[in-house]
Structure 1
Amino acid sequence: MSIIQIDALPDLISKVTWGPQKHLLVSSWDTKLRLYSVSHDNSRQVTEVSASSPILDCCWGDNGVAFTGGLAGVVEAIDLQAGELLSIGQQHADAISSVVCDAGNNLIVSGSWDKNLQFIDARGGFGNKDSSMMIPTAGKVYTMDKATNSNYVVCGLGNRQIHIYDIRNMGQVFQRRDSSLKFMTRKVRSMPDGKGYANTSIEGRVAVEWFDPSPEVQAQKYAFKCHRAKEPDAQGRIEVHPVNGVAFHPATPAFFTGGSDGVVYCWDGKQRRRLKQYPHMPTSVMGLDVDSTSGDMLAIACADDSFKENPNGALAKSSLHVRFLDGEGL
Structure 2
Amino acid sequence: MSTLFGGAAASSATSTTGDTSKDVEIPQAQLPTDSISDLSFSPTGDFLAVSSWDGSVRIYEVNASGASGKWMFQCQPAQGQPEHPLCVSWSKDGTRVAAGGDQGSIFYLDLRTAGDGGEVKVTHTWKPHSAGVKGIRWFQSGGKDFLASGSWDKTIKYWDFTSETPVAQLQCQERVYSMDVKDSLLVIATAERHIHIVNLNDPSKIYKTITSPLKWQTRVVSCFTDATGFAVGSIEGRCAIQYVEDKDTSLNFSFKCHRQQDPTSRDIAKVYSVNAISFHPQHGTFSTAGSDGTFHFWDKDAKHRLKGYPEVGGSITATGFNKDGNIFAYAVSYDWSKGYAANTPQYPIKLKLHPVVGDECKPRPGSKKR
Q: TM-score, normalised by structure 2?
A: 0.82
Could you say which residue in structure 1 is the equivalent of 2:154? Answer: 115
Cα pair distance change 1:138/1:64, threshold 3 Å: same
Please say if 1:199 is aligned against 2:250.
Answer: no
Give the CA deviation at 1:40. 4.7
Give the CA deviation at 1:88. 5.4
Give the CA deviation at 1:135. 2.4
Cα pair distance change 1:24/1:313, threshold 3 Å: closer
Give the CA deviation at 1:131. 4.3
Report the Cα distance in structure 2 between the residues aligned to 1:285 and 1:227, rounded to whole angstroms. 11
Please say if 1:302 is aligned against 2:332.
Answer: yes
Give the CA deviation at 1:22. 1.3
Q: Report the 3-state secondary structure (helix = DSSP H, G, I; strand = E; otherwise coil) of the residue aligned with 2:99.
A: strand
Give the CA deviation at 1:254. 2.0
Contact 1:208–1:223 at 8 Å: present in 2 too?
yes
Give the CA deviation at 1:191. 1.1
Q: Flag as ranges the 4+ runs of structure 1 deviating above 6 A.
A: none
Cα pair distance change 1:131/1:239, threshold 3 Å: closer
Q: CA RMSD in A?
A: 2.0
After TM superposition, the structure 1 = structure 2 runs for residues 219-298 of structure 1, keeping only pairs within 5 Å, are 219-231=250-262, 237-292=268-323, 294-298=324-328
Cα pair distance change 1:307/1:181, threshold 3 Å: closer
After TM superposition, the structure 1 = structure 2 runs for residues 101-250 of structure 1, keeping only pairs within 5 Å, are 101-103=138-140, 104-122=143-161, 125=162, 128-147=163-182, 150-214=183-247, 217-231=248-262, 237-250=268-281
Q: Report the 3-state secondary structure (helix = DSSP H, G, I; strand = E; otherwise coil) of the residue aligned with 1:317.
A: coil
Give the CA deviation at 1:156. 0.3
Q: Report the 3-state secondary structure (helix = DSSP H, G, I; strand = E; otherwise coil) of the residue aligned with 1:311.
A: helix
Report the Cα distance in structure 2 between the residues aligned to 1:116 and 1:166, rounded to whole angstroms. 16
Please say if 1:4 is aligned against 2:37.
Answer: no
Could you say which residue in structure 2 is the equivalent of 1:58? Answer: 88
Contact 2:57–2:72 at 8 Å: present in 1 too?
yes
Q: Report the 3-state secondary structure (helix = DSSP H, G, I; strand = E; otherwise coil) of the residue aligned with 2:50.
A: strand
Could you list the runs of 5+ residues in structure 2 that have no partner in the other structure?
1-7, 9-21, 77-82, 115-119, 363-370
Contact 1:164–1:173 at 8 Å: present in 2 too?
yes
Report the Cα distance in structure 1 between the residues aligned to 2:65 and 2:136, rounded to whole angstroms. 32
Q: 1:91 aligns with which of 128, 131, 155?
A: 128
Report the Cα distance in structure 2 between the residues aligned to 1:304 and 1:63, rounded to whole angstroms. 29
Deviations 1:288-325 (A, max 9, x none): 11113x11000001112367256165242311001001
Deviations 1:12-70 (A, max 9, x none): 11111111221111111111111111245342111111112110001001452101101
Quick one: percent identity of the two aligned structures?
27
Report the Cα distance in structure 1 between the residues aligned to 2:39 and 2:70, rounded to whole angstroms. 15
Q: TM-score, normalised by structure 1?
A: 0.91
Deviations 1:187-245 (A, max 9, x none): 0001111111101001100001111222xx11111110000012356796311000001
Letter in 1 for 2:104: G
Report the Cα distance in structure 1 between the residues aligned to 2:90 and 2:267, rounded to whole angstroms. 46
Report the Cα distance in structure 2 between the residues aligned to 1:51 and 1:94, rounded to whole angstroms. 15
Cα pair distance change 1:281/1:165, threshold 3 Å: same
Contact 1:90–1:132 at 8 Å: present in 2 too?
no
Could you list the runs of 5+ residues in structure 1 that have no partner in the other structure?
none
Q: Report the 3-state secondary structure (helix = DSSP H, G, I; strand = E; otherwise coil) of the residue aligned with 1:247.
A: strand
